[in-house]
């Protein structure tokens, strides 16, 4: 399959590290004009530098997805600089492992505001900047959206909401020619998400062994599915929630819930 993104405009919210930066990098390598945004000016500048090695047009914006007007400004500036957006990837997220009783209301709220309200803010502000018809929106979800996991009440609630946003907006925006899908990464190597959820070698090994394909995934593998969804090969795909997880959500993620919870309790107990 040869997918060409030359002359396409791609915006990746939260695209300055980890999986999302890998996604931005894959689009830049395929010839797209790429814009990334996140909270930290340092991370934005570093990501822009890295993406420029592909010689394409790259821009970066500072915005917190919880700040509706900053999000609007970032998307508006990208629209002005590049023209209508062909692809929007919305992947800003936060996570920390904590039992519900060890999580303050503000801790729960912080994650829900970044992952869920933030996704709403981004999609809502992006709509006028999208190429219509033809644009593809891809939300980054997580197995926690449909696999309940201990220590993850905030993420489970937020990402389940993100997948529902995907489905509702796929219905509302379908007639405008805008497709909306979710991609659900499983455990991805060398990411902040994995460092937080499986902070020891022992836990990382246990996670790996709980994946049917027997290994962690890579950001490139997540990017491949996102690029498929953004391409004409997926012209009739909308409202889909697609795991890219080596089969982890079939059972392994559920089994790991207790192991992660035990490890956390042992660590907390010293
Ligand atoms: P990461 O490197 O921490 O990526 C998160 C990105 O979001 C960063 O660019 C961060 O940059 C940005 N961000 C965080 N809060 C933000 C806010 N309030 N406003 C704007 N940007 C914000 O983590 P990752 O592990 O690669 O995760 C990336 C995505 O994949 C997330 O949606 C996550 O839920 C999902 N996921 C990851 C895994 C995994 O194995 N890692 C598994 C399933 C799903 P700043 O700090 O500069 O804001
Ligand atoms: N355990 C329990 N509560 C925690 C916590 C932890 N490990 N880490 C943060 N919190 C709580 C804080 O105590 C605070 O609650 P309080 O005001 O009642 O004390 C609340 O969460 C908000 O923390 P704060 O640091 O002010 O939020 P923030 O908006 O600056 O950061 C986070 C948001 C907490 C999600 C932060 O971890 C973050 O920025 N993460 C982005 C990177 C990331 O998580 N990557 C993985 C993506 S899957």
Nearest ligand to residue 110 Cα: 2
Cβ(68) – ligand 2 distance below 6 Å: no
Q: Is residue 205 assigned to a domain?
A: yes
252 occurs within a structural domain: yes
Number of domains in the chain: 1
This model's pTM is above 0.85 = yes
CATH number at residue 245: 3.40.50.720
Residue 23 alpha carbon to ligand 1 centre in Å: 12
Q: Is 93 part of a structural domain of the chain?
A: yes
Residue nearest to atom 27 of ligand 2 (CA): 110
Residue 3 falls inside a structural domain: no
Residue 263 has pLDDT above 70, yes or no: yes
Cβ of 107 less than 6 Å from ligand 2: yes
Residue 191 placed within a domain: yes
Q: What is the structure's pLDDT at 3?
A: 81
Assigned domain for 179 exists: yes
In a domain, 4, yes or no: no
Query: For residue 1, what pLDDT is reported?
Result: 54
Domain assignment present for residue 82? The answer is yes
pLDDT tens-place string over residues 96-133: 999 999 999 999 999 999 999 999 999 999 999 999 99
User: pLDDT tens digits for 169-223?
Assistant: 999 999 999 999 999 999 999 999 999 999 999 999 999 999 999 999 999 999 9
Query: For the segment 133-161, what is each residue's pLDDT rounded down to a tens digit?
Result: 999 999 999 999 999 999 999 999 999 99
Domain span at 207:
9-268
Cβ atoms 217, 191 nearer than 8 A: no
Q: Which ligand is nearest to the CA of 66?
A: 1
pLDDT for res 130 = 98
Residue nearest to atom 28 of ligand 1 (CA): 19
């Amino acid at each position: 399959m040869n997918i060409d993104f030359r002359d396409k405009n791609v915006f990746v919210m939260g695209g300055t590290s980890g999986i999302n930066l890998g996604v931005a990098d894959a689009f830049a390598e395929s010839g797209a004009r790429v814009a990334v945004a996140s909270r930290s000016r340092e991370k934005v500048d570093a990501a822009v530098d890295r993406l420029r090695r592909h010689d394409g047009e790259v821009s970066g914006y500072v915005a917190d997805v919880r700040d509706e007007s900053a999000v609007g400004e970032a998307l508006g500036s990208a629209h002005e600089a590049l023209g209508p957006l062909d692809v929007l990837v919305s992947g800003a997220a936060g996570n920390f492992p904590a039992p519900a009783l060890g999580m303050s209301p503000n801790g729960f709220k912080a994650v829900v505001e970044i992952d869920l309200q933030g996704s709403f803010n981004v999609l809502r502000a992006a709509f006028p900047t999208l190429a219509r018809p033809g644009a593809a929106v891809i939300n980054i979800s997580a197995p926690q959206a449909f696999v309940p996991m201990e220590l993850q009440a905030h993420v489970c609630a937020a990402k389940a909401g993100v997948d529902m946003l995907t489905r509702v907006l796929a219905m509302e925006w379908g007639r405008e020619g805008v497709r909306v899908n979710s991609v659900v990464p499983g455990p991805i190597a060398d990411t902040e998400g994995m460092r937080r959820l499986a902070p020891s070698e022992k836990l990382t090994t246990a996670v790996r062994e709980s994946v049917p394909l027997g290994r962690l995934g890579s950001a490139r593998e997540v990017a491949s599915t996102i690029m498929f969804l953004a391409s004409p090969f997926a012209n009739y795909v909308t409202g889909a929630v697609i795991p890219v997880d080596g089969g982890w959500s079939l059972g392994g993620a559920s089994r790991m819930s207790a192991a992660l919870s035990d490890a956390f309790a042992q660590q907390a107990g010293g």
